[in-house]
Structures are given as C-alpha cells and as structure tokens.
Amino acid sequence: MSTYKAPLGDIRFALYDVLGAEALFARLGYADASRDLLDAVLDEAARFTETVLAPLNSVGDEIGCRFDRASGDVATPPGFREAYTQFMEGGWTGLTAAPEYGGQGLPHTMGVPLNEMINAANLAWGNFPLLSHGAVEALKQHGEAWQQQAFLKPLVDGRWTGTMCLTEPHCGTDLGLMKTRAEANADGSYAITGTKIFITAGEHDLTDNIVHLVLAKLPDAPPGAKGISLFVTPKFKVARDGVMGERNALRCGSIEHKMGIKGSVTCVMNFDGAEGYLVGEPHKGLLAMFTMMNTARLGVGLQGIGLSERAYQNALRYSLDRLQTRSLSGAKFPEKPADPIIVHPDVRRMLLTVKSLVEGSRLLALHAGMLIDVAHHAEDPAEREQADVLVSFLTPIAKACQTEWCIENTYHAMQCFGGHGYIHDYGMEQLARDARITTIYEGTTGIQALDLMGRKTASTKAAGLKLFLAQIEAFAAQHEGDATLAEFIVPLRQKAAEWASLTQGILQRAAGDAEEIGAASTDYTFYSGYVTLAYWWARSVAAADASGHDEAFKQAKRETARFYFARILPRTLSHAAAIESGAEPLMAMSAERFSA
C-alpha cells in the first residue's frame, strides 16, 4: 500500500524563497495573508490530506462508486462522505473564495498547494469538489445578481457542488455539433433537454444539491460553436430567492467503468425539460464556460503533480530499503548482503527524472496561481492584463505537460519496484492507472497543444510567449555576472532564443499552409514545457543559494538542476527537429494508404 506525506518543505521553499509570495500578497492587498497564517493553512492541509484522505485512496479504487439504475442515484465509496463533511466543516471549500459569498478570501495561490495535497492523497475524492471553484468563477463573472446570491454561497460553503456539462455522445470536442436544446418558459426560465456524457461528479451523495452548468442551443441559435448558450441547471430546483425546491427533470443515466480514478464518478446525464436559467448573454456560452474550463485545466495539471509526488515518495523509500546486487563500482554497504538499489545508475535516472519534473512543475503551477491573483487584484490595469495573457499562455503547457509527465513519472516509480510494482498491494499500479486518465479529461494533450499553438500563440502574435521570454531575460540579466549560475544561465538563454525562433518559423510556414499549426503543436507544447522548467530550475538554484536553508538542501537543488539541464532539457532537440520537419511528413499519406 502506498503512503503519502505532504512535501511542506519544498512547497514553502517554492512559495517563499523562489516566488516571494509574502511580498506579492501584501502588495495585492491581502492584509490577512501573513506568513504565520499561510503556514498554519499548509500544516492543517497536510494533516487533513495525510490522515483523512490518504487512507481512503485504495478504498475508492477497490470499491468504486455504486449506481442504482432504478433511482439514478450514486453512492460514493465508504468514508468519502464523512471525509467531505470534515472538509466542508473545516472551511476548505471556501479557502480562496470572496468573503461576500462566505469565503475566507485568501489568495488564489493558496489553493494550489491545497489541491496538490488533495490529489496526491486521494485523486478520486478530490474530483468531487474540483469543479465547484470553476462554477463559482463562471457565475461570479457572468451570472445575474440573483444567480450569484442564490448559488454562490452554498457552492462556496460546500453544501452544494458544481459540474460542467459540455460534450455529448456524438460530438466530442466539436461542441458546435451539440444537440441539447433550451426552450424558453413563460417565467423566464428555460427547459433544457439533451444528453451529456463524461460528467465528473454529475451525481453523488456528498451534498444536498448539485449545480450543473450546461451548454445548450436556443431555437434561434446560429449554427456551430457561435450558437452555444450556458445555463445553470441544478439537481433540485432553486428559486430566485435561493430556496431549494423539488427534484428537477434531470437524472444520471449511467456511470462509466474506468481504468482508473474509480472512486470518482463519471456520469451520463439526461436532461428532460429540466429547469435552467441562462448565464450570460444568449449564444455566448463558450465565453462563460471557458472561465470554468481554464480553472479545471490548471486543476488537472495539479493532479499530475500530486500523483507524481506520491509516486516519487514511495519509489524513493523502496529504493533506499530494497537490497539487490552490488554497485558496479564496488560494494557501498559491505556489511549488508547486497546494496540498496538506489546505488544503481538507472534507478537514480528514474528517481531524478521524477524529482526534477515534480519540483519544477510545482513552481510552474504556483506561478500560474500567483498570476491569477495579480490578474484579479493588481492596482495597475496593464499589470493585470499582462498577468491574464501570461497565465492563459501557460495554462495549456501546465495541463498537457504536467499530466503527460505524470504518466512518465508514475511508470518510472513503478519500475523502481520491479515485479512488486504491478502488484496491487503496493499501490503503484493504481497511481499509473489514475495518471493515464489525466491526459484525457478537460481536454486531451492534443487539444491543449492546439490551444497553445493556435489560440494562445498564432492568434495573439505570441503575446504570452513574449512576456515569458522577457521574464527569462530579466532573470538572466540579473545574474549575468554570477559565475555560480553560469552553467544554467547560458543554456537557458540559448533555449529561450531558440524558442522564439521556432515559434516564428511555425507562424511563417502556417501563413502558407494552415496544417503547420497542428503539425507542430504537440512537439511545440513539450518544447515549451521543458524550457519553462529550465527557467524554474535556474531560479530554484539562485533562490536556494540566497536562502537560509542548510547546505544539504542547497546542494540537492543544484544537483537536481544539473541533472535536469544535462538529461532532461536535451529532449528539446528532438522536439525542435520534429517541429522543423514541417507538416509534409504527417499529411502526405492519404487516408486510404493507412491500411495498405
């Protein structure tokens, strides 16, 4: 059975030493976000996730959710409901929500380590409150005043949870093909009719109500994605005064039997004239839904970090304890019958790969959280706008890379266990199965890549990239004369310049052939991810050297950074070569010849 211990030391290092969270929060007006309070939040989050959620991780996998076909009800695994009650009573559901809706008003950034710990401890359980934050943001930004009053407080305090209902059996990511319809009622509500699939936490027994945000088309909708509207459609009807009424005309039709994350319910939801209310303007539903989707995508990226961290902890412990053969250069523990397997280069390769990707990804995720705080609270409108552009650019990188690396990380960790890795009792195969799903939901890796290359780069003339490259150059210039950082600064600058050149080349080729965007997108995403982490590793070394941490900590950061630059960053070479090969090798073969 795998275990979990929250990595508070590295989380605090990332927050305080690298990112300077205390100073930023003070500048943004978070008067109550003192170091003492933030540390207390981290400590209590660690206690809750380690002692309440982590022991339920295998329970969720082994028992899963149970569906009652007669009633359409879903029962969550044993212990999940009690854990959710503790979570709600502890105020965690409203940690970063606005005080006017019952939240605690802490910086959005503080939700990042909380969610990482939840995902590491029990990813399946974490999926139940996952989408509530996005539902709150969508209603706060796009809902009418009465909708905010009726729905936000129970969502923030956790009495209700939220979902987003997007796709349908026939349309996948092409939402313009959706068939769900919304017909106006005389009282200003709408009757929602259609079937939605892959709805995370669409039905469960944890809360009194479930608030579905549903995409549908009005009778006069223009064709395609431009004709989509958004509707808030609760499981139990909610009047304009916030009073919960009778059961709505919607029902779970079935739950999916998945390869992993079995303690989380994934539903088919049937709406049969269900009462809903328009959120935002007619035919502008995707704009409102993207508020929720972007939050969810960063959240799924955190799932990749959490699973990777748990996998690393267990693989490291096993590698330190497991005795097998001798070191190639001679016995390191001659008093023992064999050396622990951590002496072997290939085991170290796997462990260092996971460690370097996890700790670098943690900084990327926390940085994204801080950008959201800046975008919402900075006094300078230009600073707010730049933060919004940059976090939009980094979101598909974070979601795609952190989940794809999670597959690599959990498999490396499982490999460290040898034959014990695929045995259920050790818990590693569950992490590998759970990890595989994270690359698919909330937009596959390919969808993230197209978003990055198309919407976030080509359509903006690389605005987000330019901001991030400027950040890299500012750091490099600051430390230009520091000989102790030269081994990182020089290659980082080279990669940043190459990143800009590759981007320009893709955009130039795409002007003559639109297929170049899709052909380059996935390799471009990974290239971007590896250079992004190189920046954070260089900053980690600089921050560690300037910190009050002991020498062992500082040296561990430097040695991990050296491994990353020597063994991981060169992966950019193959991605660059693939990008520069262009679209022709992908598009030349006709569909018929695939089966030849």
Distance separating alpha carbons of residues 577 and 534, to the nearest angstrom: 19
Distance separating alpha carbons of residues 372 and 378, to the nearest angstrom: 10
Distance separating alpha carbons of residues 86 and 92, to the nearest angstrom: 9
- Asked if 56 and 124 touch (Cβ cutoff 8 Å), the reply is no
pLDDT tens-digit map of 278-324? 999 999 988 887 777 788 899 999 999 999 999 999 999 999 999 99
With 0-12 CB in 10 A as exposed, 13-18 as middle and 19+ as buried, what is 384? middle
Distance separating alpha carbons of residues 376 and 28, to the nearest angstrom: 9
Cβ atoms < 10 Å from Cβ of 583 = 18
Give domain limits for the chain.
Answer: 8-134, 137-151+160-284, 452-588
The residue type of 520 is A
- Name which residue leads in pLDDT, 224 or 524: 524
pLDDT tens-digit map of 356-381? 999 999 999 999 999 999 999 999 99
Distance separating alpha carbons of residues 518 and 445, to the nearest angstrom: 12
pLDDT tens-digit map of 152-209? 999 999 999 999 999 999 887 777 788 999 999 999 999 999 999 999 999 999 999 9
CATH topology for the 137-151+160-284 domain: Butyryl-CoA Dehydrogenase, subunit A; domain 2 (2.40.110)
Q: Output the pLDDT for position 134.
A: 87
Look up the CATH architecture of domain 8-134: Orthogonal Bundle (1.10)
For the whole prediction, is pTM greater than 0.85?
A: yes
At 490, the pLDDT band (50, 70, 90 cuts) reads very high
**Active-site residue (options: 256, 442, 487, 592):** 442
Distance separating alpha carbons of residues 573 and 527, to the nearest angstrom: 8
Q: Output the pLDDT for position 172.
A: 76
**For 12, phi and psi rounded to 5 degrees?**
-65, -40
At 518, the pLDDT band (50, 70, 90 cuts) reads very high
Q: In the annotation, is 442 catalytic?
A: yes
The residue type of 496 is A
